[in-house]
Amino acid sequence: MTAPPPSQPPPQRAAVLTGVGGCLPPTVVSNDELAARLDSSDAWIRSRTGIRQRYFAAPGTATSDLAVGAGAKALKCSGTPVVDAVLLATTTPDRPCPATAPTVAARLGLTGTAAFDVSAVCTGFVYALATAAGLIATGAAERVLVIGAETFSTLLDPGDRSTSVIFGDGAGAVVLRAGDPAEPGALGPFDLGSDGGREDLITVPAGGSRQRLSGVAPRPADRYFAMDGKEVFRHAVQRMSASARAVLDRAGWTPRDIDHLVGHQANLRITNHVADEVGIPRARCFSNIADVGNTAAASIPLALDQAHTDGVLRAGGRVLLTAFGGGLTWGSTVLTWPRLDRI
């Protein structure tokens, strides 16, 4: 009797980037406008953050509105209006319950599609990319729309100079499809991590179950975003650098192979320090923080959209993505930039 041939392992499925889009609210807020009420100056803000302006959503606008704008553009760029899942990375959902992603999906004509939020603050988009890649790898989805969207201006104390000059509102999105790990656009290995022991470094103290069940009324300041700037800077550089090196090792790439580092747009000095630590020339870092500020989970996809639109990201270029955020959380991945239409 002839033995049956050995079974072949199923082919690997990778998540391949096939569309990108962004959306910014129309209101531009300059440094001079903020400095007038913060006893500050444009020069002070630029020297410490690299930011000259940011965008704030107008009254009546919600995170879902920006997410729909970015998602629609990414879908158009990808050439198809249909996906199997919608993942929304955000720290500023429309409301605590329900999740905002189903609303976004419905407004994009995707009623019935799986949709859920991902919460990892500024690392949220990278976490969402990894989740979407898992859905595709297991066959649970063929195409996934991943959005990072924030209206961080709603969390800011207007009198806090340390935070109100940093953040802005916006949304960015990508479409992923199932494909081959070797083709352009395939997301490479991921490196993800967290350290909940330092949750106090980046936080909004009020509004959650811990505060509501404490029996103590929140102070006005507890309703706003707060962070320990010096400690966040140190941890951000350390964690992003280590994560970037780890994912390069897993991909078999070296820093010399990277054409563009697109990091979370937290602070221009952080980006430069990460590049130095990893060994990537600063000239290869793409940054749009000067024009949009820190848009938290939206920052990487917004940067990708602008870099693609401006022709900075070209087909065949090797790209490293890395992020750091509250939690603490961090994450990185790599890809070779595919050929995409410009919308």
Going by C-alpha positions, the residue among 184, 172, 174, 177 that lies closest to residue 77 is 174
d(CA 217, CA 133) in angstroms, rounded, equals 42
Report the alpha-carbon distance of residue 203 to residue 222 in Å, rounded: 9
3-state secondary structure of 318: strand
Task: Please say whether the beta carbons of 320 and 262 come within 8 A.
Answer: yes
Q: Are 170 and 298 spatial neighbours (Cβ–Cβ below 8 Å)?
A: yes
Amino acid residing at 254: T
Q: Which residues share a beta bridge with 227?
A: 202
- Coil/strand/helix, residue 15: strand
**Mapping DSSP to helix (H, G, I), strand (E, B) and coil, where does residue 16 land?**
strand
Residue 187's contacts (CB-CB under 8 Å, 6 or more residues apart) are 14, 15, 16, 17, 129, 133, 176, 333, 334, 335
Q: Which residues does the annotation mark as catalytic?
A: 122, 264, 294
Interatomic CA distance for residues 325 and 322, integer angstroms: 11
Tokens of 125: 């988009």
Name the residue type at position 38: L
3-state secondary structure of 279: coil
Written as six digits, the tokens of 42 are 């444009």
Strand (E) or helix (H) holding 307: helix 299-309
Supply φ then ψ for residue 252, to 5 degrees.
Answer: 75, 25
